């Protein structure tokens, strides 16, 4: 791809996905030093219900040919009998992560000034909340390594095997240390359950120790996942970079979003640090069918996801400018007033 014009696969998806994606693209256009060539792909619940297709191989290969992917959200109405559970999660979201080798699931968690947190004042007074979770994205219990026997009988057996490879653990731990050494506090906390999950735990621990030895500038810490839940609620300022497995990371990141202003602000990247395939950036939230089509969704998480995209593509200055514009917008938000989705996007774009 020509340096001046990176290609962008845009998957707006369902529900509020198209509404928040439109604002992310609006902000990207004014903030980015390069002009993106976007191609829109209609994937998600709507397409599945209309055509029975989830992610045709030909579409996957087209998407693979882009420099980056911006995704809104996919998912239908709750308990739609025509939409089998897991079909979009496994067939679209997880398939993209596995096929495009998104082994780093990146979730920055920052409590911006003026943003309400459910945490008590004495907890917030302990220090600024500004950490990033590096969640392993291609292994653990999410690989589909399992099965069921005698389903529906009293003797039913169901297994979900957690897959941990030395290769997979090492590359994500290395990414966490590399990120930490670029941050002011330079600290990595491994979150696992090494005392009970002794096989996977031993592998993670040994790899963590070995990579730590190569980074004398980075401070390390270890926490069992249950204790980490306590500290996220009582002393989140102690975290800088958290590295953890796929399942623990799924849970840790939702609590992290909850303590830093909620789902409307939480951005994420599904990153392939080796750049063998495009990385995908998306808000953490889903398609929110309850407010879809009403211009009620907060597009901030999608806009911050676009900032992560710019940072990944080598434009950290533009990414920081978006974050600063969001920060300024958040500082002026007052309770009681509501703006339309597009008004929030306009306001943030206007600051750039
Ligand atoms: P959700 O995140 O869509 O909604 C949860 C609650 O948060 C709702 O009350 C919603 O109105 C609110 N909310 C979410 N985003 C918001 C925003 N930007 N601004 C203001 N309010 C917002 O999660 P839910 O309800 O569990 O799932 C709805 C659908 O989304 C399901 O089909 C689910 O499978 C799908 N989903 C898709 C994801 C993705 O595409 N990565 C992630 C999570 C869920
Ligand atoms: Mg989750």
- The 3-state DSSP class for residue 309 equals helix
Tell me the ipTM for this assembly. Answer: 0.97
- CA 216 to centroid of ligand 2, rounded, Å: 33
351 annotated ligand-binding residue: no
* The domains spanning 1-103+268-352 and 117-260 adopt the same CATH topology: yes
Unique residue bearing structure tokens 């900032």: 307
Separation of alpha carbons 243 and 187, rounded Å: 11
CATH 3.50.30.10 fits 1-103+268-352, yes or no: no
Contacts of 43 (CB under 8 A, 6+ apart): 11, 13, 54, 55, 59, 74, 92
| Ligand 1 pocket mutation pick from 15, 43, 75 by most atoms within 8 angstroms of CB | 75
* pLDDT tens across the length of the chain (352 residues): 445 689 999 999 999 999 999 999 999 999 999 999 999 999 999 999 999 999 999 999 999 999 999 999 999 998 899 999 889 988 999 999 999 999 999 999 999 988 889 999 999 999 999 999 999 999 999 998 999 999 999 999 999 999 999 999 999 999 999 999 999 999 999 999 999 999 999 999 999 999 999 999 999 999 999 999 999 999 999 999 999 999 999 999 999 999 998 888 999 999 999 999 999 999 999 999 999 999 999 999 999 999 999 999 999 999 999 999 999 999 888 777 789 999 999 999 999 9
Give the nearest ligand 1 atom to 302 CA.
Answer: 18
**What's the rounded Cα separation, in Å, for the pair 168 and 205?**
13
Give the pair of three-digit tokens for residue 190. 């491994």
Inter-residue contact 262 to 111 (CB < 8 Å): no
Map out the domains of the chain as residue ranges: 1-103+268-352, 117-260
What's the rounded Cα separation, in Å, for the pair 171 and 32?
Answer: 30
Was 298 annotated as part of a binding site? yes
Residues whose Cβ atom is located within 5 A of ion ligand 2? 250
Angle between helix 246-259 and 225-234 (nearest 10): 10
- The fold for domain 117-260 equals Isopropylmalate Dehydrogenase (3.40.718)
């Amino acid at each position: 791809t020509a340096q001046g014009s990176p290609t962008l696969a845009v998957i707006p998806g369902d529900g509020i996905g198209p509404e928040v994606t439109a604002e992310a693209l609006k902000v990207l256009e004014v903030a980015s030093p390069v002009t993106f060539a976007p191609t829109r792909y209609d994937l998600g619940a709507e397409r599945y219900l209309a055509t029975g297709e989830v992610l045709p191989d030909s579409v996957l290969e087209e998407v693979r040919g882009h420099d980056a992917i911006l995704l809104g959200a996919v998912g239908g109405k709750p308990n739609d009998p025509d939409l089998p559970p897991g079909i979009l999660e496994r067939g679209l979201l997880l398939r993209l992560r596995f096929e495009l080798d998104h082994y780093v699931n990146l979730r920055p968690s920052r409590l911006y000034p003026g943003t309400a947190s459910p945490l008590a004042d004495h907890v917030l007074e302990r220090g600024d909340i500004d950490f990033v979770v590096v969640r392993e994205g291609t292994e653990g219990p999410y690989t589909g390594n399992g099965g069921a026997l005698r389903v529906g009988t009293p003797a039913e057996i169901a297994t979900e095997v957690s897959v941990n490879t030395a290769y997979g653990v090492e590359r994500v731990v290395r990414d966490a240390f590399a990120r930490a050494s670029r941050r002011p506090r330079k600290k990595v906390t491994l979150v696992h359950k090494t005392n009970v999950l002794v096989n996977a735990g031993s592998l993670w621990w040994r790899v963590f120790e070995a990579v730590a030895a190569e980074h004398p500038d980075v401070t390390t810490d270890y926490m069992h996942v249950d204790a980490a839940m306590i500290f996220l609620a009582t002393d989140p300022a102690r975290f800088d970079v958290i590295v953890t497995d796929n399942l623990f990371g799924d849970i840790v990141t939702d609590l992290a979003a909850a303590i830093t202003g909620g789902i409307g602000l939480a951005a994420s990247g599904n990153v392939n640090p080796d750049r063998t395939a495009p990385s995908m950036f998306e808000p953490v939230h889903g398609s929110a069918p309850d407010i879809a089509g009403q211009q009620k969704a907060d597009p901030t998480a999608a806009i911050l996801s676009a900032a992560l995209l710019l940072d990944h593509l080598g434009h950290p200055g533009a990414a920081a400018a978006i974050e600063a514009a969001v920060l300024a917008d958040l500082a002026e938000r007052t309770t009681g007033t509501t703006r339309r989705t597009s008004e929030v996007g306009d306001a943030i774009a206007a600051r750039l």
